[in-house]
Structure 1
Amino acid sequence: MQKKWMFTAILAWSLLSGFCQTTNRPNVLVIYTDDLGYGDLSCNGATAIATPNIDRLAQNGVNFSNAHATASTCTPSRYSLLSGRYAWRKKGTNILPGDANLVIPTDITTLPKVFQQAGYVTGVVGKWHLGLGNQSPVDWNKEVTPGPREVGFDYSFIFPATADRVPTIFMENQRAIGLEEKDPIAVDYHKAFPGELTGKEHPELLKQPNDPRQGHDGHIVNGIGRIGFMQGGKRSEWTDEELGYVFNNKAVDFIDQSLKSKKPFFLYYAIHNIHVPRMPGTEFKGKSRLGYRGDVILEMDHSVGVVMNALKERGLLKNTIVIFSSDNGPVLNDGYIDQSAEAAATLHHKAAGIYRGGKYSAFEAGTRVPFIVQWPAKVAGGKKSAALVSQIDLMASFAALLNVKLPKGEFTDSRNYLSTLTGQTATHRDYIVEQPANSALCIVKDGWKYLSPSKGPALMGAVNIETGYSPEDQLYDLNKDPGERTNLAAKYPQRVQELKALLEKIKAE
């Protein structure tokens, strides 16, 4: 009798334990990479390079082939991801200089604030590039507010902008790390400081040459020229080779701290790779066949593995939603001469896959990015989805999952597509709006894509990317012509007018 009772108790405990694991609020990890193309992953067809850790995510989750960032450049995509609003609705949200002020309003609902309302501890680690403070110039020698905290992050460990822009410093909870009072930081984006060594004046000091057309010939740190000028903060400046290791450690440490708090976590891990300057950790140098760009893809994949292994070791993997994506499409030459384009051509590596364009572009490669969702407790692995999805919908979808009501009087562009994101349905988003570098908007609906007329070069010579800019209407049937080779605007004028009218309606909302 006693044995029977013990067996029943153990069975009940096991069932209850399993029930709790699958019904408790899931942890959420968004891994957001930089400048990664759809075709840069082996799970999406790349053969010149292997990305085993990301491939494992795809094998255990849902791999989307028609997922989009909202813009083909970084700042607006990140703005939309975190705010649930198209960046083109707000002035000043294009690519920001490193000394810009915060562009996300602090009085709106954001993705991290949704998690805070649901009782989560929230954190951001990695690249920020959404501005800091509300005064110009930014005083980097004290706590800079507003910033990630005011947007909804309880913890932050970031660099302010991009690795190729000053200030080249880490900031933890909005304070510069390693700063000495006797050596304060000053930043200028117009002129060099007296006595400052710049890449333009001292190219002999550079270990990575730069393209003079791109402006990476300012402040030198770690033998690499940056955009902008900086003085002071010598002990605060990082070296490029350490970035991946430091951010990995901080991401794992945040997960550990969340365990101590006994709260579920939301972590936005904005990996700095594979943005220029591509200077991988030394152990990754020369490990790929695609030059430094390939090496930093390997390092980025390694970072994914580090964090995923940490989740597994802590027993958190089953009930953690992991979303992996990129802020925009690929670029091979973007200011530094590192033979990325030559290596890709030799090995026939197509960073954008079958799609036309790349970073900055109005064509599909600008915003069609890798997008993988894994949630072992709820989502069957090994799925592929061709559903049209947008990163802008994360806010409303997670609000629905967590029963957080978005304010009725507060307009957002975010919509609830939770069932699509978790692979339960193949429901397409009604439409998506894409924003190229020149902000001449494009709209995709029912497989048809309309590109607004705009001014600008058809080819960005410095980066060798087709822009899609044209003074004429453009219309493409993405179902039959995913490479956007045949403009059908003249053949289907009524469809052009329908998409034009819809785009104008959306802009007027």
Structure 2
Amino acid sequence: MGPQGRQHPWLHPWVLLHRWVLLLLLLPLRAAAAARPNFVLVLADDLGYGDLGCYGHPSSATPNLDWLAARGLRFTDFYSAAAVCSPSRSGINPPCPGIDEGINPTCPGINGRSWTCGVPGQTDSADPSVSRDRRTVLTPRCPGTDGQCCGPCQNLTCFPPDTKCFGTCDQGVVPLPLLWNLSIIQQPVSFPELVPLYNKFSRDFIADCARQRRPFLLYYASHHTHYPQFSSREFAGRTRRGPFGDALAEFDDSVGQLLQALRDNGLESSTLLFFTSDNGPSTLRMARGGSAGHLRCGKGTTYEGGMREPAMAYWPGRIAPGEPWWGVTHELASALDVLPTLSALAGAALPRVALDGFDLSPLLFGEGRSPRQAVFFYPPSPDPLHGPFAVRLGKYKAHFFTQGSFHSDTTPDQACHGVTPRTPHLPPLLFDLETDPGELYDLLGDPAVSPELLEVLRDITVRKVLLEQRLKFGDSQMAKGGDAQLQPCCAPGCSPKPSCCRCSPR
């Protein structure tokens, strides 16, 4: 190569040594960047904004969730995808159809409890580090109008030693089965024994994925604190808050066991744990139905109490405690943002469907603000004629329609009750949620409305119209009816149905 080639810096011994040291220093950083994280997604059922100690409840025993809030990021303005369970769970778990496309009860994970070993959206079988197996395990499923067992019953108790969960609630359907994948292992399910089974499966699952060195998603969708409340013997009668508090304490303990399993397997620093609830509290059950705190109404309504939820993100080493804003964020976020966030962190492709979510990674890591600017509030049965009932843009929320819900009965506020019909508002009701989160003072009720508020209303209306122009509503799945022969029965050939569908645990 001649004299110039011999003088090339790559041939100088010191430069060679220097570059090797630099390469060795960069290798761990590149490996860390390339390593896929694990995800634990914990979903409560009918847990209200005001139900946890870290959100202000004076008598809730939630030490593990409070611990997460103190060491992670706690959201004050996080919303579920809908005010009732099926569409809200579908919003978390696309590509099952969601609010925009109708509810499909056959999609795994909508009303069931699903666990996936592997990265969300990963389908590349050439990557041996990722499992493609999807396991829906220990899943209690209830046939019926809303996927819940014993809905109309008022006085069930499921607390040892006086356990009365069955025999007084005959809806003419099969008893609630417990499934392992597609096999019924117990019918009816014994509620007081259910959560220990969930916890054992979750611990074994985490340990198994750790041994195989495979990244995983654990979706822990609990029955707690939905009615009927229940607990194992360990938690019955333990709390000051009565049956609801006992159920909540057992749920909180499950969160603690998940955290301990991550620590025991050396995975805490490589795992994002995210917690929230599917919708607000069922105040129909009064003190046994949960609390929305200072928010208005609850489950089934598009008021704040129906869809604003407690939420926390915990990832030691990535989400720094005390950052941003001392461990609390007032940025807008939604359950619709969960899938895009996890997919971005995992380096996985999103499903080929229209999604309404955003990647919250910059917010989680204190690198920026939430990309979400607006939240749209749909009633339990949306339709193209009425569209979203309410829209939040920044700190303002406009109600174009309001309607009560039987899930939010028994409170003094008549606007929440099921007999309160759908009511149009023109102009809409407008609230400043920073100063009035209880939605008590309509800013447009004053004849002298400021130009600034009129501009806010215009912006909100434009957002609503643009959304409605791109929405595509699918066929109603519930309107297609049902077939009693498809009800899950552990003894398919037995008679008479449905009462003969009973099996002991195995």
TM-score greater than 0.5 by the shorter chain: yes
Q: Map residues 79-478 of structure 1 onto 2, 5 A cutoff.
A: 79-83=90-94, 87-92=98-103, 100-102=105-107, 114-117=120-123, 154-161=134-141, 208=157, 222=166, 225=169, 229-230=173-174, 235-334=186-285, 340=288, 351-382=291-322, 383-406=327-350, 410-427=353-370, 429-439=372-382, 440-454=388-402, 460-461=408-409, 466-467=415-416, 470-472=423-425, 473-478=428-433
Q: How far did residue 301 of structure 1 move?
A: 0.3
Is 1:500–2:443 an aligned residue pair?
no
Q: TM-score, normalised by structure 2?
A: 0.70
Q: How far did residue 329 of structure 1 move?
A: 1.1
Please list every run of 5 or more consecutive structure 2 residues that lacks an aligned counterpart in the other structure. 1-22, 111-115, 159-163, 178-183, 383-387, 471-506
For residue 71 of structure 2, the aligned residue among 49, 60, 77 is: 60
Counterpart secondary structure, 1:53 = helix
C-alpha distance 355-285 of structure 1, shift in aligned 2 (>3 A): same
Contact 2:108 2:136 in 1 (8 A): no
Contact 1:476 1:484 in 2 (8 A): yes
Equivalence for 2:17: none
Please list every run of 5 or more consecutive structure 1 residues that lacks an aligned counterpart in the other structure. 1-11, 94-99, 106-110, 123-151, 170-188, 190-197, 210-219, 342-349
Letter in 1 for 2:401: P
Letter in 2 for 1:436: P
Contact 1:166 1:229 in 2 (8 A): no
Q: How far did residue 20 of structure 1 move?
A: 5.3
After superposition, the C-alpha distances for 1:285-342 in whole angstroms (9 at most, x for unaligned) are: 11112111111110110010111111111111111100011111112434xx8x527x
Measure, in 1, the Cα distance between the counterparts of 2:185 and 2:348. Answer: 45
How many correspondences in the alignment?
406
Q: How far did residue 17 of structure 1 move?
A: 7.1
Q: How far did residue 265 of structure 1 move?
A: 0.7
Measure, in 2, the Cα distance between the counterparts of 1:18 and 1:199. Answer: 57
Measure, in 1, the Cα distance between the counterparts of 2:207 and 2:407. Answer: 47
Q: How far did residue 261 of structure 1 move?
A: 2.9
Q: How far did residue 451 of structure 1 move?
A: 1.4
C-alpha distance 460-324 of structure 1, shift in aligned 2 (>3 A): closer
Contact 2:68 2:312 in 1 (8 A): yes
Letter in 1 for 2:354: F
Q: How far did residue 39 of structure 1 move?
A: 1.4
Contact 2:280 2:305 in 1 (8 A): yes
C-alpha distance 266-444 of structure 1, shift in aligned 2 (>3 A): same
Contact 2:65 2:252 in 1 (8 A): yes
Q: How far did residue 441 of structure 1 move?
A: 2.6
**C-alpha root-mean-square deviation of aligned residues, in Å?**
3.9
Counterpart secondary structure, 2:268 = coil
Letter in 2 for 1:470: T
Based on CA coordinates, which of the two structures has the bigger radius of gyration?
2
Measure, in 1, the Cα distance between the counterparts of 2:170 and 2:130. Answer: 34
C-alpha distance 104-245 of structure 1, shift in aligned 2 (>3 A): closer
Q: How far did residue 443 of structure 1 move?
A: 1.2
Counterpart secondary structure, 2:66 = helix
C-alpha distance 411-245 of structure 1, shift in aligned 2 (>3 A): same
After superposition, the C-alpha distances for 1:354-394 in whole angstroms (9 at most, x for unaligned) are: 21111112111111111110111311124111111111112
Contact 2:60 2:245 in 1 (8 A): yes
C-alpha distance 43-390 of structure 1, shift in aligned 2 (>3 A): same
Letter in 1 for 2:345: L
Letter in 1 for 2:261: A
Q: TM-score, normalised by structure 1?
A: 0.69
Equivalence for 2:54: 43
Measure, in 2, the Cα distance between the counterparts of 1:15 and 1:304. Answer: 36
C-alpha distance 459-246 of structure 1, shift in aligned 2 (>3 A): closer
